[in-house]
Chain A
Amino acid sequence: MFEETHSEDVRNRKGSMSRRVVVTGLGLLTPIGLDVESTWSGLMAGKSGAGTISQFDATDYAVRIACELKGFDVEKFVDKREARKMDPSVHYGVAAALMAWNDSGLADAGLEADLVGAIIGSGVGGIQTLENQHTVLMEKGPRRISPFFIPMLIPDMSSGVVSIMLGLKGPNFATVSACASGAHAIGTAFRSIQHGDADAIVSGGTEAAVSPMSIGGFASMRAISSRNDEPERASRPFDAERDGFVLGEGAGVVVLEELEHAKNRGAKIYAELMGYGATGDAFHMTAPAPDGAGMAAAMAEAMADAGFAADDVQYVNAHGTSTPLNDKLETAAIKAVFGERAKDLAISSTKSMTGHLLGAAGGVEFIISALAIGRSVIPPTINYENPDPECDLDYVPNEPREADVKNVLSNSFGFGGHNCALAVSRFES
C-alpha cells in the first residue's frame, strides 16, 4: 500500500533543525527510590522494587505482586488541600517535575513564561480515582460523584498542575501511547524546542496504576508475571524463565532546555538529546510486529536523527519488559539495526529492578540513560539466570558494569504498536 521509507530519508530531514537540546534537570520517583540518588543506589545494588501488593487486598487475584512506591509523602510537594483534589498519578508526576525543576535552577533564570512548557505523559491517568468513584456511583448514586472526579481522571492533569504551580505558559499537554507515553512526551518536547516553540520543557511520564482493575486486567491478558511467591525474582527480562512484567508505579521527569539558553545561564548539563524515532507497527493491538520490525524502524530513525552509526552506540536501555514476546522481538530488532555490532553492545533492562512503570517508564529510563553516560556505569539486568536461545546478546547480567558510555539508545514500546526510541549523548560543546 505504501512504499517503505529508509533511514536515509529521515536523515535528509535534519538540518532545518539546528537548535540543540540538553538535559538540565532530573526528577525520579521509583519503587526502588524516592529521588534520583536513592534510585541510582538501588540500580547499582541490583535492588528489586517488587513485593506483595499492599495498596489493596489482592488475595483473590491471580497476580498479587507489584513494584510499589515505599514511603512517598505527597505533602512534601503539594499542600494537603490541593493534594486531595488530585489522583496519585498527578501526585507522582508533580513530585518528579518539581524535583527536576529545582535541580535545573531554572526558577532563578528569568525565563519568559511563554517559552517554557510541560509535556508529561501517562498511560492510563487516574484509574484509582475511576475505580473509587465507580464504587460511589454504584453504592450512592450519580449525585454523589465527586466534582473532582473528572480533573482527577484525565491523564493530562500532571502537565496542567505543573504549569499552574510553576507558572509555565508554553506548550502544555500530555502524550498517551501506553508504555511509550513518557518517551513520546520527551521526543515531542525535543521537537518543540528544536523548532523554537519553547526554550525549555518539563517532560516525562507518570503512572499510578497498581489498582484492582489494572492488576486484574493485565493478569487476564497474561501480560504480568504470576510469580507470586518470589516477587523479587519475577521481573527477569531476557531470561528463559520470564513470564511477564511486574507492574510498577512512579514518575520520571526531566527539564529539557535549548543549549545556548542553558550555556548562557551556566546550567549544569547532564547529557544532550540527539535523536527521536517514532513508528507504528500497523499489526496488532498488543503483540509486536513480526521480527520487531516496528521497534527496529524506531531505533533506526532515532539513530539517523542523531547521526549515529552502529559503532557509535555503547549502551541500549531496552524496553525489556520481561514478557516472552517483547524481549525476543526487541532482541531481533536490535540485531536488525546493529548487525555485527549487536553482540558487542551492552543492553540492559532496568525494569528488572524498577518493574514496568507503563507511561512513566520512558521518562524513568531516559534519566537512567543520561546517568549511565554521566557516571560511566551501566546498570544491570537482574534475575538473569537462564539463557534463552532467542535472547542471545549481552544483557549486562546481574552486576553493574563500568564503561565509557558516550551514546545511548533508550527504547519504549506501547500497546497499540507504538514504538519510540530516544538517542542520548554525552554533552560535548
Chain B
Amino acid sequence: MADVAGKVKQVIAEKLQIDAEQVTMEAMIVEDLGADSLEQADILFSLEDEFGITADDTDEAEGLKTVADIVAYLEKKVSA
C-alpha cells in the first residue's frame, strides 16, 4: 500500500516543515526528525483525519517510533 506511506510522509513533512526526502521509512520521528510531544500529537491527529480512523488504542499509537511503524499501524487500522 504505497499510497499510505506516501500520504504519511507528506503529512509529516508538512507538519514539521521539512523536505519530504528527509522523511525516510527508517527515520525516527523524535530522534531523527526532531518532533516534540505536541508535534507528535499533531501528526497523529492529522493522520486520523486523513485515514478516517481513531487511534484510541493509545498505548500502541504512542509506541510508534519510526515512519515505517506509523505506516504499518495505519495499514492495519485501515484494513481492520
Contact = CB atoms under 8 A, between A and B. Distances in A.
Interface of A: 79-81, 84-85, 140, 143-144, 146-148, 151
Interface of B: 16-18, 37-39, 41-42, 45, 48-49, 54
21 contacts: A80-B17, A81-B16, A81-B17, A84-B17, A85-B38, A140-B49, A143-B45, A143-B48, A143-B54, A144-B45, A144-B48, A144-B49, A146-B42, A146-B45, A147-B37, A147-B38, A147-B41, A147-B42, A148-B38, A148-B42, A151-B38
B33 to A, nearest CB: 11
Contacts of B37: 147
A328 to B, nearest CB: 48
Nearest to A82: B17
A314 B16 CA distance: 53
B25 to A, nearest CB: 22
Chain B, interface SS category: helix
A13 to B, nearest CB: 45
Contacts of A148: 38, 42
Nearest to B34: A81
Contacts of A146: 42, 45
Contacts of B42: 146-148
Instruction: Please list the 6 inter-chain residue pairs (A to B) with the smallest Cβ-Cβ separation, ordered nearest first.
Output: A81-B17, A147-B41, A147-B38, A80-B17, A147-B42, A148-B38
A33 B10 CA distance: 37
Contacts of B48: 143-144
Nearest to A80: B17
A146 B18 CA distance: 20
A262 B48 CA distance: 54
A147 B45 contact: yes
Contacts of A144: 45, 48-49
A262 B60 CA distance: 56
Contacts of A147: 37-39, 41-42, 45
Contacts of B38: 85, 147-148, 151
B16 to A, nearest CB: 6
Contacts of B49: 140, 144
Contacts of B16: 81
Nearest to B48: A143
Nearest to B45: A144
Contacts of B54: 143
B44 to A, nearest CB: 9
A147 B41 CA distance: 6
Contacts of A84: 17
Contacts of A81: 16-18
Contacts of A80: 17
B27 to A, nearest CB: 16
A290 B23 CA distance: 64
A140 B39 CA distance: 19
Given A81-B16, A81-B17, 8 more contacts: A85-B38, A143-B45, A143-B48, A143-B54, A144-B48, A144-B49, A147-B42, A148-B42
